[in-house]
A and B are shown apart, each in its own frame.
Chain A
Amino acid sequence: MNYDELFAKTVDTLLSGHIICPIAYSSLRKYLSLDLNRDKVNSHLNQTGRKLSSIEGEYYYCSFNYLNNSRVKQCRDFFKHNQEKIKPVVGFINFIMRTSGDERVVDVGDEIHINRLADKLETDFSLTNELEKVLLATKKSTSAKKNSPYDRLMVFMNFFEAQGIVKKMNSDSAIYTCTGKLAYHVAMIEFFVENHSEHFPELEDKEQMDFEL
């Protein structure tokens, strides 16, 4: 049968709730870089009451193009359901920022080198505590408490790999790369802080000037 395989894969991937980014779905992301292809996909999704949405025009996902009471309820439910997921992601971002010493929020395409993280864990005990806090939030803290820091780190990374937040570039590699799923969570965080600022504590001036994590 003659059909547009990339188009079909792109639509299937979007409808199954995945985020298309250069890391997780590079060929599909390349496909969507053309206006013509984006229009084709969007037009198809429109017929199902959905549309092609993006985070910063870089990472694509599928959203609904209408809002009624039923959708609003589903969105509310979705957010409540997602609250549990955001906490470990916040812990993940903070842990990676602390270990890398970088002020930037970890971004799509950033590499996470397991061996470097393990080295840091061995020399900085506070990072081990930080790791355990995140594992607690992921509910992965009970199964392997007696394991080495490296094993705990692998439990940590495996969890976020299962979440689709990071991806191993190949099965033998000890390097993970952040995906568009992380960008989704970060965009969500930014949206809420920007639009519901009153709920979030203001940073002190010193913290703003000297952004040390």
Chain B
Amino acid sequence: MSALRKFFTIAAKHCDLIETISVEGELPLNDIEADKGFDLLCDYGVAYRTSQNSVRLVSDFQAFIDLVLKTDSLSSVNIDVSTIWNRIKHNIKAYNELTSSGQFEDALKSKRSIEDSVYQMVEGLKRNVELLRKRIENDFGYVTSLSAKKKENDLALYEADKLISSLKIINVEEVLELTNGSSEFYLLFRNDLMNGQLMALEGLNKAIDVMKAHMFRYRKLEDRAKSFKRFKAFVDENVGLQALDEAFPFDNEVSVLPDLLNVSFMENLTSYPDPDQPILRDAYIDIVESIQLDKNRVEPVKACEPSLGVINETTSDIVLEEPKSRLWIEKLLIATIECKPNKIAVCDTYDAMEMQVTLHDYLDVMYCELLNLPSSKSTHFEINTLGDEHPIYNGNFDINEMTICCKV
């Protein structure tokens, strides 16, 4: 069994423990003692005992786990560019000395270290930029509140700026000079390191642009939330609609009228109801009960209460309304139409039913359901039941059981 396979076998055996330490940061030694064989992991150098009688994972192994699991624990820690850069330069010098002194085997090790450091730098930069972009693109994925998102964005901006500054330390010409233009390192520095640096810079600058745009959006969202809160406070304080009228005077403000108010929203109020979702009797009663009529244009309801037509349940005889009251009802319906904008909208509740009930359906139900009158008495509207025709609407069937016609 290869050494690597052996290591992964042992690591797999202690997977739960490794995961716990990885998440918690450290575990008391007492909790680990029961897990026989964990010492082997310490022997491999992936974990160690602290003086506080606990066990921690070595940072490289922790970084490896974060990389594999794509966790965000490192997302706020930038790659240490200057340390890696100094290591590269140090190893180049060592390589030069070892080569000139004829210690070619050790020089090869230094060369390997230089290559490892360059790729560590390139990969680290790439990962840093990816994490940054992930945090940006995830929008509100990691946080729920606007202020938390702003803080996160601020931190990400700071980190990106810091990384850009630290990238300036990378000078390909300097290392090429140190290697005396050696062809062994030329492609490594000129292609891999330089491209890695340029791509990181490009990625970071793009990320910063996006983050700045996001900051603008967050500020806008914040302003919107404040505006909403002020508006809500206003609505809470002023229950009646008149207060809103005073707040939004339209006279002499023609020039600033926005498209938002100059809309063509009220064009289509007479669509037919959805046959799959008929409005039933109870819903109609709700609508009718909620009607707020313009008191200046109609007579008080009580004026005609005694003369409303009703069905006498004991005798089944019909008491017809007096002609005067019938006229009043017709007047009431027409007045209801006329008192609203465009002479179409009957009342706000009717408008709230948008597209679900026609105006004539609505008026007929008002006529028949609210006032409990025989529909045959309406001048403008006529209601017939489907199926066996009954001369009188008794108010006990649903809209989908009747047909409505306009008497033109």
List the interface of chain A (C-beta within 8 A of B): 15-17, 50-51, 53, 55, 61-64, 67, 71-72, 74-81, 83-87, 90, 93-94, 100-105, 138-140, 142-143, 159, 162-164, 184, 186-196, 199-203, 207-208, 211, 213
**Interface stretch among B157-165, B232-240, B303-311?**
B232-240
Q: Does B134 make an interface contact (CB < 8 A)?
A: no
Among B230, B262, B267, point to the contact of A203 (Cβ < 8 A): B230
Let me know if A200 and B352 touch, CB within 8 A.
no
Smallest beta-carbon distance A51→chain B, Å: 8
Residue contact B232 to A94, C-beta cutoff 8 Å: yes
- Whether A72 lies near B356 (C-beta < 8 A) is no
A211 B342 Cβ-Cβ under 8 A: no
Q: Decide: A102 and B257 in contact? CB cutoff 8 A.
A: no
Chain A residues, CB < 8 A from B264 = 15, 17, 50, 62-64
B residues 248-267 near A (Cβ < 8 Å) are 248, 250, 254, 256-267
Residues of B within 8 A of A15 (CB): 264, 267-268
Chain B positions within 8 Å of A187 at CB level: 260
B228 close to chain A: CB less than 8 A: yes
Cα-based distance from A81 to B343 in the complex (angstroms): 12
Cβ contact of B263, chosen from A62, A94, A104, A191, cutoff 8 A: A62
B271 to chain A, nearest CB (A): 8
With A81-B345, A105-B221, A162-B352 as given contacts, are A190 and B263 in contact (CB-CB < 8 Å)? no
Contact B265 A78 (CB under 8 A): yes
Interface of B: prevailing SS: helix
Contacts of A103 in B (CB 8 A): 145-147, 222, 225
Expressed in whole angstroms, the minimum distance between the Cβ of A148 and any Cβ of chain B is 18
Contacts of B289 in A (CB 8 A): 142
Can you list 23 pairs linking A and B with CB atoms under 8 Å apart? A15-B264, A16-B268, A17-B265, A17-B267, A61-B263, A75-B250, A77-B341, A79-B248, A81-B266, A81-B348, A83-B241, A83-B245, A100-B144, A104-B140, A104-B224, A139-B352, A140-B286, A162-B352, A184-B260, A188-B260, A191-B260, A192-B247, A207-B229
Q: How far is it, in angstroms, between the C-alpha of A100 and the C-alpha of B352 when the chains are bound? A: 26
Chain B's interface size range is: 35 or more
**Residues of A contacting B247 with CB < 8 Å?**
192, 196, 199-200
Interface residues of B (CB under 8 A from A): 140, 144-147, 221-222, 224-235, 237, 241, 244-248, 250, 254, 256-268, 282-283, 286, 289-290, 340-342, 345, 348-349, 351-354, 356
B226 touches A208 (CB 8 A): yes
The residues of B that contact A193 with a CB separation of less than 8 Å are 227, 230-231
Closest to B265 in A: A17
Identity of the chain A residue whose Cβ is nearest the Cβ of B347 in the assembled complex: A84
Residues in B with CB closer than 8 Å to A85 are: 348, 351-352
Q: How far is the CB of A159 from chain B (nearest CB, A)?
A: 8
Give the contacting residue for A196; candidates B140, B147, B225, B248; CB below 8 A: B248
Alpha-carbon gap, A105 to B207, bound state (A): 26
Min CB gap A131→B, angstroms: 16
For the complex of A and B, 7 pairs with smallest distance between CB atoms: A77-B341, A199-B247, A63-B259, A53-B259, A84-B348, A193-B227, A17-B265
Given contacts A17-B264, A85-B351, 9 further A-B contacts (CB under 8 A): A63-B262, A77-B341, A87-B235, A104-B140, A186-B228, A190-B227, A194-B227, A199-B247, A207-B229
**Chain A: minimal CB distance from B240 (Å):** 10
B241 touches A79 (CB 8 A): no
- Tell whether, in the assembled complex, residue B225 and residue A78 are in contact, meaning their CB atoms are under 8 Å apart: no
Contact B348 A72 (CB under 8 A): no
| Interchain CB contact under 8 A, A195 and B256 | yes
Q: Which residues of B contact A80 (CB under 8 A)?
A: 241, 245, 341
**Once the chains bind, are A211 and B262 in contact (CB under 8 Å)?**
no
CA distance A87 to B262 in the complex (A): 20
Q: For residue B145, which residues in chain A have a CB less than 8 angstroms away from its CB? A: 101-103
- Contact between A71 and B229 (Cβ–Cβ < 8 Å)? no
- Which residue of A72, A143, A184, A186 is within 8 Å of B250 (Cβ)? A72
Give the chain B neighbours of A203 by CB distance below 8 A.
226, 229-230, 233
Q: Which residue of A lies closest to B291 (CB)?
A: A139
Q: Which residue of B241, B245, B267 contacts A16 across the interface (Cβ within 8 Å)?
A: B267
Bound-state Cα–Cα, A199 to B231, Å? 9
- Residues of chain B contacted by A63 (CB below 8 angstroms): 259-260, 262-264
Q: Indicate if the CB atoms of B341 and A90 lie closer than 8 Å.
A: no
Check if A163 sits within 8 Å of B354, measured CB to CB.
yes
Tell me, rounded to whole Å, the shortest Cβ–Cβ distance linking A57 to chain B. Answer: 13
Q: What distance in Å separates the Cβ of A142 from its nearest Cβ neighbour in chain B? A: 7
CA A50 to CA B286, docked complex, whole Å = 36
A90 touches B261 (CB 8 A): no
Q: Please, which residues of chain A bring their CB within 8 A of the CB of B227?
A: 189-190, 193-194
Given contacts A79-B248, A193-B227, A201 and B234 within 8 Å (CB-CB): yes
Instruction: State A162–B286 Cα separation when bound (angstroms).
Output: 16
A80 and B144 CA atoms in complex are apart in Å by: 36
Q: Give complex CA distance A211, B245 in Å.
A: 28
Say whether, besides A201-B230, A201-B237, A211-B226, A81 and B262 are in contact (CB < 8 Å): no
